Amino acid sequence: MISQIVSAVGVVIAGVFACALYYWLSDKLLQIVFPVPKDNVRAASVNLNRRAVVRPWLFMGPALILLGVYLVYPVVATFILSFYDRSGGSFVGFANYRWAFFDGQFRQSIFNNILWLAVVPAACTFFGLIIAVLTDRIWWGNIAKSLVFMPMAISFVGASVIWKFIYEYRSGNETQIGLLNAIVSFFGGDPQVWIAMPFWNNFFLMVILIWIQTGFAMVILSAALRGIPEETIEAAVIDGANGWQIFWKIMVPQIWGTIAVVWTTITILVLKVFDIVLTMTNGQWNTMVLANLMFDWMFRGGGDSGRSAVIALVIMAAVTPIMIWNIRQANREMGGH
């Protein structure tokens, strides 16, 4: 174990050094290939121009290679693989898509994903907004915010263990050590195996993501609330608006853009939800979602790259509108610069 730590530290140092060396060497090389002679102004300016043309690509080279190999190429390759059979060897046309259309588990996953999409972003944004408004009004609000924000740091797997313990069920007359069943028993109800209740178990899994992501929504919405110009609220108060009206008619419309950002960010996260379902149920009891189904098909029976590619493309298709909107937004901002 010690040797592993030593080698890891060594690799970190070597890696950083190699990176730095690349940029330094490429810069030196550039100076050697395109020299700037002191006595020849013409040649100097030509070579300076050449350096300026090449240098950006040297600076961006490693980043572009990584992006190309790990993100751009795979998107294209996944698209192509979706038309091939399980080993990627022979062309099968739309067979994988046809399979997906008629597959019960695939439809179950789509249904569950839609359920997640309908509940989680809305719940996170709603709770985040409420908590942001409430904590902004009290002196210990920052401590409260920290506590709500804290689950953001916890891994989905860690959060799953935490919540599995809450949903823990013990049969018969044994003492319930899961908090939820203990509360249910305390009020005279029957303890339930929460994560094995079809349909409703989806919501018990969603609670975990809501618990994690509400802090994110809260932090961003809280910043947006603070950015609201005071005059608008003062004017509303003078006009005799009550708290409810001020919140819904003055404050919420002004942070609409931020709400949309929070909503879409969580939407993207929800589309990729994987860890929680894997660790809580592994898709059993009708909780399968697309990312897990895809992972399942990647390895099931030696793996079926065609079918899992189709599932990945469905996730990609769902993300695409958000992607286009983001690019447009970024372009507009840069045009304004």
- Listed ranges 58-66, 90-98, 101-109, 116-124: which one lies at the site for another protein (CB under 8 A): 58-66
* Residues of this chain, 185-214, that bind another protein according to CB under 8 A: 211
Among 47, 124, 216, 288, binds another protein (CB under 8 A): 216
Residue 315's nearest CA partner among 326, 323, 304, 325 is 323
Residues 6+ apart with CB under 8 A from 272: 291, 315
Binding footprint of another protein, residue count (CB under 8 A): 130
Q: Is 32 in the site for another protein (CB under 8 A)?
A: no
Q: Which stretch binds another protein (CB under 8 A): 89-97, 115-123, 190-198, 235-243?
A: 235-243
Burial track 209-224 (b if 16+ CB lie within 10 A, e otherwise): bbbbbbbbbbbbbbeb
Q: Interface residues for another protein in 91-130 (CB under 8 A)?
A: none
Q: How far is the CB of 145 from another protein (least distance, A)?
A: 9
Q: What is the CA radius of gyration of the chain?
A: 27
Q: Does 36 bind another protein (CB under 8 A)?
A: no
Out of 32, 38, 39, 71, the residue judged to bind another protein by CB under 8 A: 71
Indicate which single residue of 89, 101, 199, 234 sits in contact with another protein (rule: CB under 8 A): 234
Q: Least Å distance between CB 68 and another protein?
A: 9
The closest alpha carbon to 112, from 269, 289, 308, belongs to 289
Shortest CB 58 distance to another protein, Å: 8
Tokens describing residue 158: 């860690």
Give the residue with the Cβ less far from another protein, 202 or 215.
215
User: If you search the block for the tokens 């860890």, which residue do you land on?
Assistant: 275
CB 198, min distance to another protein, A: 20
Q: Burial, 296: exposed, middle or buried (Cβ in 10 Å; 0-12, 13-18, 19+)?
A: buried
Of these, 110, 123, 129, 131, which contacts another protein (CB under 8 A)?
Answer: 131
Residue 84 forms beta bridges with which residues? 91
Single residue of 99, 108, 261, 286 touching another protein by CB under 8 A: 261
DSSP string, 271-309: HT--HHHHHHTTTTTTT--HHHHHHHHHHGGG--HHHHH
Per CB under 8 A, the list member of 29, 33, 43, 147 interacting with another protein is 147
- Contact between 239 and another protein by CB under 8 A: the answer reads no
Least gap, CB of 117 to another protein (angstroms) = 14
Give the one residue of 126, 246, 252, 286 binding another protein; rule: CB under 8 A.
246
Please, which residues have CB within 8 angstroms of residue 260's CB and are 6 or more apart in sequence?
A: none
Q: Give the count of alpha carbons within 13 A of 280, CB side only.
A: 36
Is there binding between residue 287 and another protein (CB under 8 A)?
no
Residue of 162, 198, 199, 256 interacting with another protein (CB under 8 A): 162
For residue 310, give the nearest of 103, 79, 70 by alpha carbon. 79
**Tokens 């020299």 sit on residue:** 35
